[in-house]
Amino acid sequence: MIEKDVFIFDNVIHMYDYSDENLKTKESDFDRQYHLNKVLGRRQKSENDIYASWDPVKGFARKWTSSDLGKLLFDDSGTDMAMAQAVPLFDLYKDGFAPVKAQYEFSKAFPDRVLFCGAVDPMYPSLEGALEEMEKQVKEMGAKSIKIYNAHIDGKSWACDDPEIAYPLYEKGRELGMKIFQFHKGNPITRASLRDLSPLDIERAAMDFPDVFFGIHHLAVPYFEETVWIASRYPNVFLVLSGIGHTPMVAPRTFKEWVGRLLRDVGSDRILWGSEAPLLGNPKPILEWIWNMEIDEQLQEDYGYPEITESDKRKILAENQARLFNIDIEAKKKELCSN
């Protein structure tokens, strides 16, 4: 917790495997370096002395262990619960850059604190394979959600509203009683096309599957405007601040504009905190910044954005995620305290 009683439930952390051994080809290193250098400057300098060095390869470009990440999150950051999300980037990494098995193991290492989010891709190796894998991840590994990354560098990008490729995934999820899918949108972390990561393909899917929840990550930046309109129109769409949560360190006004706009046009009930830890470092300074943030008077004047309340912040930092995954925060506080 931060501020003594503010529960923190992080929607997305990853047990990364950036190791050389996990690279699919030699060329995959190009994408790995691109991603690591893109985020390197956003970490807090002091924490690199603890968790890594400024050298991305020696520091973060490695296979993370449960004890590494557990220390960063639960001992040092104020995070109470988190969802470990696999990322199905099979065009670059043999096991995906956040492997299914590693996320599962992290959830088993901290069963009272971590939920497991699996991942599948209908192109790797096939739709049938993805459906079988989803069944295994939900039934045998206890996946509470499934992560999707539909843009690839090898000509295998697909659309999330494709009735032949995508809809069987949602139908299978329904059949399994697992109805929360999450999508990397915008912000490519590989050489994949930005266009393939437009959130517009979530709209039709959300309309055709009104009982399924669709999470859009990264506010799909640079498709923020589209994201606001989609989330406004479909109550089964939720938005995760992953990847852009550290923006306040560089551009606080930009972050306040995003949040203010969401408060005005979507509401605070469907915004979820997500840190991407450990990639962007210890999330604690950002959590404290968000807890203390205000929507500037000038933004209220110019755009009509409402004030952000303590209730909004509690929803964003934990309550929305808890509601989505049926976690009783007060009961969990007691459980964690007694443990």
Nearer to other proteins, 252 or 304 (CB): 304
List the Cα angle 164/142/15 in 5-degree steps: 90
Shortest Cβ 210–other proteins spacing (Å): 12
User: Would you call the peptide bond into 278 cis, given omega within 30 degrees of 0 as the criterion?
Assistant: yes
Shortest Cβ 261–other proteins spacing (Å): 10
Nearer to other proteins, 265 or 310 (CB): 265
Nearer to other proteins, 75 or 297 (CB): 297
Compute the distance between CA of residue 152 and CA of residue 155 in angstroms, rounded to an integer: 6
Nearer to other proteins, 267 or 285 (CB): 267
Shortest Cβ 150–other proteins spacing (Å): 24
Nearer to other proteins, 69 or 228 (CB): 228
**152-160 — which CB contacts under 8 Å span 24+ positions?**
152/91, 152/123, 152/190, 152/192, 152/196, 153/31, 153/91, 153/92, 153/190, 153/191, 153/192, 154/91, 156/91, 156/123, 156/124, 157/192, 157/193, 157/196, 158/122, 158/123, 159/201, 160/201, 160/202, 160/205
For residue 257, give every residue at least 6 positions away whose Cβ sits within 8 Å of its Cβ, in sequence order, or none: 299, 303, 305
Query: Which SS3 state, helix, strand or coil, does residue 36 take?
Result: helix
For residue 224, give every residue at least 6 positions away whose Cβ sits within 8 Å of its Cβ, in sequence order, or none: 186, 258, 261
Nearer to other proteins, 184 or 270 (CB): 270
Indicate the pairing of strand 81-85 with strand 9-13. parallel
- Do residues 219 and 244 lie in contact, with contact meaning Cβ atoms separated by under 8 Å? yes
Nearer to other proteins, 171 or 302 (CB): 302
Interacting residues toward other proteins by CB under 8 A: 228-229, 232-235, 263-265, 267, 269, 295, 297, 300-301, 303-307
- The torsion angles phi and psi of 252, rounded to 5 degrees, stand at -60, -35
Shortest Cβ 245–other proteins spacing (Å): 22
Shortest Cβ 61–other proteins spacing (Å): 40
Nearer to other proteins, 62 or 264 (CB): 264
Shortest Cβ 304–other proteins spacing (Å): 3
Compute the distance between CA of residue 255 and CA of residue 246 in angstroms, rounded to an integer: 9
Shortest Cβ 305–other proteins spacing (Å): 6
- Do residues 188 and 217 lie in contact, with contact meaning Cβ atoms separated by under 8 Å? no
